[in-house]
Amino acid sequence: MKKLFTVLFIGILLIGMVSCKGVEPEKGKEEEKTVAKEEKTTAKEEKTTKKAEEKEMEEVTITFWHNYDQGAGQIATLENLIKKFEAENPGIKVEHLYLEWSALKNNVVSGAATAALPDVLRGDIAFVPQFQSLNVLSNMSELSDYADVASGLMEAPNSTAKMGDDFYGIAANTNTKIYFYNKKIFADKGVKAPEKLEDVWSCAREASGDGLVGIVEPWTGIWNVGPYIWSNGGEVLAPDYSTADGYINSDICVDTITLLKDLYAQKALAGPSMDPGAIGDTDGWASGVYASQVDGPWRANALNDAGVEYGAMPLPKGSAGSVSVLGGEDFAC
């Protein structure tokens, strides 16, 4: 019995040992499976995070402020160009915002203090020196391909973005002012289109009367009066811009201003800045009140829309030639 008990006891121990050895590998496999699963999950999460980070890095939104003209179809063209740009540059989105002339200027000026500024803007050439003085514009001439792009543009318009030796923008478009006249009024009044600058004033007198005004000038700033002064050899500032004395009060400037004053007194010249009660130039042309005007290319659009039959030519020459303004807009960032 004693021997039997000993044999049985040893057998039980052996069974237990064998059982334990049989379970251990199964337990190890389960742990390996769990670790592998956790590692796979971690790798997947890391991959997802990496993709999200890469996507976030790749997606760029460019804010673009401008004053393109909705009525002239410019915004529709802009949106088509944006779609094309986004298709060619995946991951880059362009958000554009229209602001009329003064709102665009004022928002950038206030944004200089609040840091609420666009990435890119298209604004009047006169904005560039002001914005550059506020230290909100990038020196675009430092861009590697600036010189190549600028070489394909007209030098004078692009010079409007130059401050010192650097460029803080690039020309977007340019314009100037020319002479427009109402063919019907001139024909009815027997007025011949002007050949010289002095003829512009005689035409204005001859085309006036019977409710008609020979020439309209909506404003009286340098943009409007400058061409008459420059075409007769006058200047309003010294060549180095250091003074206006001796220039803006020169005989040529005084004579030009006096001439416009006399035309106004003769009711041959009108405009809202001289007479707040005067009809605006666009409405005046459409209603057949104004016979002529020195204006930019937008005047042609307005006249076409109003069905006015008009003639157009460069500003007739004065004693120093035909010298008009340089206008337009620049891109800046």
Give the full edge-to-edge strand order of the sheet including 327-332. Answer: 92-98, 60-66, 120-124, 327-332, 170-175
SS3 60: strand
Question: What local confidence, expressed as pLDDT, does residue 206 receive?
Answer: 98
Question: What local confidence, expressed as pLDDT, does residue 43 receive?
Answer: 60
Tokens of 293: 């005007």
Distance of alpha carbon 69 from alpha carbon 122, whole angstroms? 12
In 3D space, the residue among 257, 263, 254, 261 whose CA is nearest the CA of residue 202 turns out to be 263
Helix H or strand E encompassing 204? helix 197-207
- What one-letter code names the amino acid at 173? N
Question: What local confidence, expressed as pLDDT, does residue 8 receive?
Answer: 31
State the helix-helix crossing angle for 197-207 and 251-265, rounded to 10 degrees: 10
pLDDT single digits (tens) 178-235: 999 999 999 999 999 999 999 999 999 999 999 999 999 999 999 999 999 999 999 9
Instruction: Enter the pTM of the model.
Output: 0.75
Domains in the chain (CATH in brackets) are 57-175 (3.40.190.10), 178-326 (3.40.190.10)
Residues of the chain with pLDDT under 70: 1-57
